[in-house]
């Protein structure tokens, strides 16, 4: 049954919350269970390039409950929104709706200006990063320190994912990146490159402790994308 509610948003939501009772059975329970299992299964995966699940896990490990992750737009956003366990409201900011790529670096500057005492990580694809990476200059000039975690696949990962789902093959999605470490250093920021799965956690820990902008070039294994599509199809069919 669908019911319309007309009223002040805050008052209406409060009243609904007071009346609402948890459902004993929900189709989302199975989805949640699968997400939790998936996250745990890959937490210590040593495959390289790194699986998206492990990147999200390691990021969650280093950030405190009040710290802020800003996601750009792309396949990485799908993994962040699916698996990043936000502990407090507004600690995982995701560009949805218009879904404009390039939000992560300027978003991190804004988050750091608003909350100077919290750690901030800009989570971004390589293409989205290259759309607004010049703002590293702004970040350093404004003395905002944060980490930029680039999920590097030298592709428009999400577009590849869509093309594979619809047409079974990708087209015109590859590109070449600059050397992100040298690129970061050319601004006066720091640059790290992940070369083994085990590197990421200590590298993230070191990076968020720095009082500057640190760019981490992290190769990602997006073969997991289509595996997730297949898994979701399997889960949907019995409903
Ligand atoms: C400004 C803008 N241009 C194009 C798009 C369409 N678009 C959505 S995701 C994507 C590819 C993102 O690639 P990348 O930043 O490398 O992230 P990945 O998907 O590889 O994680 C594109 C082109 C968009 N959302 N915003």
Q: pLDDT tens across 112-140, in order?
A: 999 999 999 999 999 999 999 999 999 99
- Sequence length of the chain is 239
Average confidence (pLDDT) over 10-27: 88
What's the 197 CA to ligand 1 centre distance in angstroms?
A: 24
What's the 25 CA to ligand 1 centre distance in angstroms?
A: 36
Q: What is the pLDDT of residues 37-69, one digit of tens each?
A: 888 899 899 999 999 999 999 999 999 999 999
Around Cβ 236, how many Cβ atoms within 10 Å? 10
Quote the CA–CA distance of 32 and 77 in Å, as a whole number: 18
pLDDT band per the 50, 70, 90 thresholds, residue 202:
very high
49, 101, 219: residue to mutate for ligand 1 pocket, most atoms within 8 A of CB = 101
- Closest C-alpha to ligand 1, atom 6: 101
Looking at the DSSP bridge assignments, the partners of residue 147 are 121, 214
Give one DSSP letter per residue of the chain, joined into a string: ------S-HHHHHHHHHHH----SS-HHHHHHHHHHHHHHHHTT---SSBPHHHHHHHHHHHS-TT-EEEE-SSHHHHHHHHH----STTSEEE--TT--TT-HHHHHHHHHHH-TTS-EEEEEEHHHHHHHGGGHHHHHHTT---EEEEEE-SB-HHHHHHHHHHHSS--S-B-PPP-HHHHHHHHT-EEEE--SGGGHHHHHHHHHTSSS-EEEEEEB-THHHHHHHHHHHHHHTT-
Which tokens in the block code for residue 229?
Answer: 């599509």
pTM recorded for the entire structure: 0.91
CA 216 to chain centre: 14
What's the 174 CA to ligand 1 centre distance in angstroms?
A: 12
What percentage of the chain carries pLDDT values higher than 70?
98
* Residue 237 pLDDT exceeds 60: no
Which tokens in the block code for residue 191?
Answer: 């640059």
- Which residues surround ligand 1 with Cβ inside 6 Å? 72-76, 99-102, 125-128, 151, 153, 155-159
Instruction: Give residue 239's pLDDT.
Output: 45
Residues 91 and 114 sit within 8 Å (Cβ to Cβ): no
What's the 67 CA to ligand 1 centre distance in angstroms?
A: 25
CA 175 to chain centre: 21
Average confidence (pLDDT) over 81-105: 95
Ligand 1 atom at minimal distance to the Cα of residue 102: 1
What's the 59 CA to ligand 1 centre distance in angstroms?
A: 21
pLDDT band per the 50, 70, 90 thresholds, residue 108:
very high
């Amino acid at each position: 049954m669908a019911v319309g509610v007309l009223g002040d948003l805050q008052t209406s939501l409060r009243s609904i919350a007071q009346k609402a009772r948890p459902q004993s059975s929900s189709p989302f329970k199975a989805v949640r269970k699968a997400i939790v299992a998936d996250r745990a299964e890959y937490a210590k995966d040593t495959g390289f390039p790194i699986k998206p699940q492990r990147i999200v896990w390691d990021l969650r490990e280093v950030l405190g409950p009040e710290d802020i992750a800003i996601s750009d737009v792309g396949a990485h956003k799908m993994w962040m929104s699916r698996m990043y366990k936000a502990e407090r409201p507004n600690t995982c900011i995701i560009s949805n709706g218009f879904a404009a790529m390039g939000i992560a670096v300027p978003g991190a500057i804004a988050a750091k200006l608003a909350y100077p005492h919290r750690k901030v990580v800009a989570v971004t694809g390589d293409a989205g990063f290259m759309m607004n990476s010049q703002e590293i200059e702004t970040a350093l000039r404004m003395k905002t320190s944060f980490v930029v975690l680039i999920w590097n696949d030298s592709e428009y990962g999400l577009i590849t994912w869509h093309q594979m789902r619809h047409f079974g093959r990708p087209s015109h999605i590859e590109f070449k990146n600059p050397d992100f470490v040298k690129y970061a250093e050319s601004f006066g920021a720091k640059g790290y490159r992940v070369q083994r799965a085990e590197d990421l956690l200590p590298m993230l820990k070191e990076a968020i402790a720095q009082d500057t902008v640190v760019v981490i070039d992290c190769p990602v294994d997006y073969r997991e994308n289509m595996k997730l599509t297949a898994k979701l199809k399997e889960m949907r069919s019995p409903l």
